[in-house]
């Protein structure tokens, strides 16, 4: 009897409750969205003579609106469904000729407004990055006078608390690539018309977005990020060179996911995302950097293979590939990322541990860079051996 009673009551109450709930949810905004607000946890910037990178750290992906207003000149971003972290510094003084201040405020209950008070900005660009979620705003000022001296920025991957890939015999990617970069710098800098900078010269951690910011701030002619590859397949070996672009290739996506320190799932999502599309299109409009990066990648890859094949057998050529690497996002110059061998492969780990192999890699990378620079298109000037040659 009791059972029957409950049953009958359910039949009656269920539709009524359901209809009531449906009506209420039509009128009120979703209660879930109101609870889970995105926290704006930190705002940082890197300032250089003609370039500023502002980074807004967030607890989740954010929808935002952007607008530029005149008198006074300012750029603002309305971050939807967001709250400011209590301890966050609300006014950040930059005062570098492009940007005066960055101000953050709770504009309305659901909107955090970040205002960039401008001085002289020629253009800007916004990109999104994951883990931690962050919005990166690049502000460009007037370009400095062009010098004839070529500038190269080398970026040894990882460092500090981030060892990168670790070999089966405990060799760290961060140590190998730093040594190769230092050797490469020495070789390239023998040409007195080439200036070489490293994003790090010691075992320190630098965020990926700061590495690109360094290259942009130096007005570099060329940017090369140096890494060692890894795979769960122990027999995977060989050399490959990447440029920034979309990809459908699962293996390339795995490499980029590892180097970006994000999951493969997020990597796949990024390949379809709106932010990346916007960023890539604005890059494409800017110049023919994609073609130049491809050319550079081809020279570098070709020279690594031929250079190493002289002294080592079975060097596997994986060729030039493309993927979305954070460290290449927003780079204003031809830029590539090289994977110089597989540290996860016991035989290649042994090679990477050898000074002679690292020297050979550095020499081959230098030949690739030099070949690229001496093959610059008509009209561009390259200084060589103290003389300026117009090609
Ligand atoms: Zn790496």
Low-confidence ranges of the chain (pLDDT < 50): 1-15, 29-34, 378-391
CA–CA dist 201, 153 (Å, integer)? 12
The CA 322 to ligand 1 mean position distance, Å, reads: 15
Torsion of CA 300, 266, 289, 215, to 10 degrees: -80
pLDDT digits (tens, 9 = 90+) for 121-142: 888 989 888 888 999 999 988 7
Res 60: pLDDT = 92
- Indicate the DSSP class of residue 261: T
> Quick one: CA dihedral 144, 154, 383, 294, positive or negative?
negative
CA–CA dist 121, 74 (Å, integer)? 10
CA–CA dist 337, 177 (Å, integer)? 12
**pTM passes above 0.95:** no
The CA 59 to ligand 1 mean position distance, Å, reads: 25
73 touches 83 (CB < 8 A): no
Res 44: pLDDT = 93
Residue 131 tokens read as 């883990």
The CA 227 to ligand 1 mean position distance, Å, reads: 4
The CA 32 to ligand 1 mean position distance, Å, reads: 39
The CA 164 to ligand 1 mean position distance, Å, reads: 5
Res 5: pLDDT = 42
CA–CA dist 300, 293 (Å, integer)? 10
- Indicate the DSSP class of residue 83: E
Q: Which residues contact 213 (CB under 8 A, 6 or more apart)?
A: 46, 48, 51, 53
Boundaries of CATH 2.60.40.3500 in the chain?
34-140
Res 139: pLDDT = 92
Res 385: pLDDT = 33
Architecture of domain 34-140: Sandwich (2.60)
Q: Which fold has domain 150-385?
A: Aminopeptidase (3.40.630)
Res 289: pLDDT = 79
The CA 176 to ligand 1 mean position distance, Å, reads: 10
Pairing of strands 111-118, 99-108: antiparallel
pLDDT digits (tens, 9 = 90+) for 46-60: 988 788 999 999 999
pLDDT digits (tens, 9 = 90+) for 321-357: 999 999 998 898 999 999 999 999 999 999 999 999 9
Query: Where do the DSSP E strands lie in 199-345?
Result: 222-229, 239-244, 317-323, 335-342
CA–CA dist 206, 215 (Å, integer)? 13
Res 285: pLDDT = 54
The CA 260 to ligand 1 mean position distance, Å, reads: 8
The CA 265 to ligand 1 mean position distance, Å, reads: 19
CA–CA dist 210, 206 (Å, integer)? 7
**Which of 344, 367, 364 has its CA nearest to residue 356?**
364
Boundaries of CATH 3.40.630.40 in the chain?
150-385
Res 173: pLDDT = 98
The CA 349 to ligand 1 mean position distance, Å, reads: 14
- Indicate the DSSP class of residue 111: E
CA–CA dist 356, 201 (Å, integer)? 20
CA–CA dist 88, 202 (Å, integer)? 31
Residue 350 tokens read as 């042994």
The CA 337 to ligand 1 mean position distance, Å, reads: 9
The CA 120 to ligand 1 mean position distance, Å, reads: 36
Torsion of CA 124, 130, 134, 135, to 10 degrees: 20
The CA 336 to ligand 1 mean position distance, Å, reads: 13
**Residue 339: Cβ within 10 Å count:** 26
CA–CA dist 349, 218 (Å, integer)? 33
- Indicate the DSSP class of residue 312: -
- Angle at which helix 346-353 crosses helix 355-374, to 10 degrees, equals 80
């Amino acid at each position: 009897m009791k059972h029957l009673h409950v049953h009958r009551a359910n039949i009656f109450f269920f539709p009524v409750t359901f209809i009531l709930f449906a009506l209420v949810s039509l009128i009120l905004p979703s209660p879930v969205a109101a609870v889970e607000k995105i926290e704006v946890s930190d705002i940082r910037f890197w300032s250089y003579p003609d370039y500023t990178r502002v980074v807004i750290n967030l607890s989740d992906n954010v929808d935002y609106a952007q607008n530029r207003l005149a008198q006074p000149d300012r750029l603002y971003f309305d971050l939807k469904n967001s709250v400011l972290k209590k301890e966050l510094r609300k006014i950040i003084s930059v005062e570098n000729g492009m940007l005066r201040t960055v101000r953050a405020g709770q504009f309305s209950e659901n909107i955090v407004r970040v205002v960039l008070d401008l001085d002289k900005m020629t253009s800007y660009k916004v990109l999104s990055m994951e883990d931690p979620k962050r919005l990166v705003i690049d502000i460009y000022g007037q370009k400095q006078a062009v010098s004839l001296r070529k500038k190269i920025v080398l970026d040894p991957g990882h460092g500090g608390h981030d060892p990168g890939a670790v070999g089966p015999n405990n060799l760290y990617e961060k140590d190998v690539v730093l040594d190769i970069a230092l050797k490469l710098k020495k070789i390239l800098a023998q040409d007195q018309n080439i200036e070489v900078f490293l994003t790090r010269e010691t075992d320190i951690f630098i965020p990926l977005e700061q590495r690109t910011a360094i290259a942009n701030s130096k007005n570099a002619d060329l940017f090369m990020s140096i890494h060692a590859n890894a795979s769960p397949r122990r027999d995977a070996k060989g050399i490959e060179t990447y440029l920034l672009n979309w990809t459908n290739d699962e293996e390339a996506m795995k490499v980029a996911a590892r180097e970006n320190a994000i999951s493969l799932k997020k990597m796949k999502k990024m390949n379809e995302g709106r932010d990346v599309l916007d960023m890539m299109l604005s890059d494409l409009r800017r110049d023919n950097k994609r073609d130049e990066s491809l050319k550079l990648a081809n020279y570098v890859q070709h020279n690594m293979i031929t250079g190493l094949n002289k002294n080592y057998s079975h060097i596997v050529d994986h060729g030039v590939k493309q993927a979305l690497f954070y460290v290449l996002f927003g780079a204003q110059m031809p830029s590539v990322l090289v994977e110089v061998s597989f540290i996860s492969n016991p035989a290649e780990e042994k090679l990477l541990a050898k000074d002679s192999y690292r020297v050979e890699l550095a020499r081959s990378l230098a030949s690739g860079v030099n070949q690229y620079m001496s093959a610059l298109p008509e009209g561009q000037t390259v200084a060589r051996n103290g003389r300026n040659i117009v090609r």
